[in-house]
Amino acid sequence: MFRTFFLTVLLIPAVAGCAASINVTSDYQPGTNFRGYQTFGFVPEPALMVQSAEPFSPLLEGRLKAAAAEALTRKGFRRTENPDDADFLLSFNLGALDQLRVNNFPNASRGGVRPGGTGTHEVRAFTEGTLSIDIFEATGRPVWFGRATRALNSSDRGDTRLVNQVVTAILEQFPPG
């Protein structure tokens, strides 16, 4: 009884933390003069590429653009509607992949971890969503890449707050250094 309670107390925060955490990474082209950037725009349509077996709402591209425009405007950049007038352009890639996570917990009453020993196993199926933002100079040269991954659930689809949160988390790393 105590062991079950103990494992439950340990697992609930771990599973909840996995579901809510956003992992962000970025990369950039060294030698790029990011300080010279003042205006931004979006690559000509479509600015969103989707790599998933399940369909996504056609409204998502507009939500991504609005979230990126808001985040970049807060940083002092100005949006231009004409891509030819922008110092840099953004595009988005969205994907989802079904995953399995297996956690093994040793059976404490049998002397801990031993090869071939018994224990508790937890198998959790989840969908990992990935959003990446690519930034190009007006010449088309890629200069920056940011990516966020997060475990998704069914209520995440179409959640504007989540879109804003993820886009903001990615663009916090732009411009680099």
Contact present, 144 and 43 (Cβ < 8 Å): no
Q: What percent of the chain shows pLDDT beyond 90?
A: 46
Question: For residues 91 and 174, what is the distance between their CA atoms, to the nearest angstrom?
Answer: 14
More confident: 13 or 49: 49
Q: How confident is the model at residue 15 (pLDDT cuts 50, 70, 90)?
A: very low
Asked which of 28-32, 67-71, 113-117, 143-147 is least confident by mean pLDDT, the reply is 113-117
pLDDT value at residue 108: 60
DSSP 58: T
Q: How confident is the model at residue 18 (pLDDT cuts 50, 70, 90)?
A: very low
Q: Which residues pair with 129 in a beta bridge?
A: 96, 150
- pLDDT, tens only, 83-97: 999 999 999 998 876
Q: How confident is the model at residue 116 (pLDDT cuts 50, 70, 90)?
A: low
Angle at CA of residue 70, ends 40 and 66, nearest 5°: 85
Question: For residues 20 and 2, what is the distance between their CA atoms, to the nearest angstrom?
Answer: 28
Give the E-state strand segments of 29-159 in sequence order: 39-42, 48-51, 78-79, 88-106, 119-137, 142-152
More confident: 59 or 134: 134
Question: For residues 147 and 142, what is the distance between their CA atoms, to the nearest angstrom?
Answer: 14
Give phi and psi for 35, each to the nearest 5: -65, -20
Angle at CA of residue 129, ends 25 and 20, nearest 5°: 80
* Neighbouring C-beta atoms of residue 90, cutoff 10 Å: 24
103 pLDDT more than 80: no
Tell me the average pLDDT across 116-138: 79
- pLDDT, tens only, 137-158: 988 999 999 999 988 776 666 6
pLDDT value at residue 76: 97
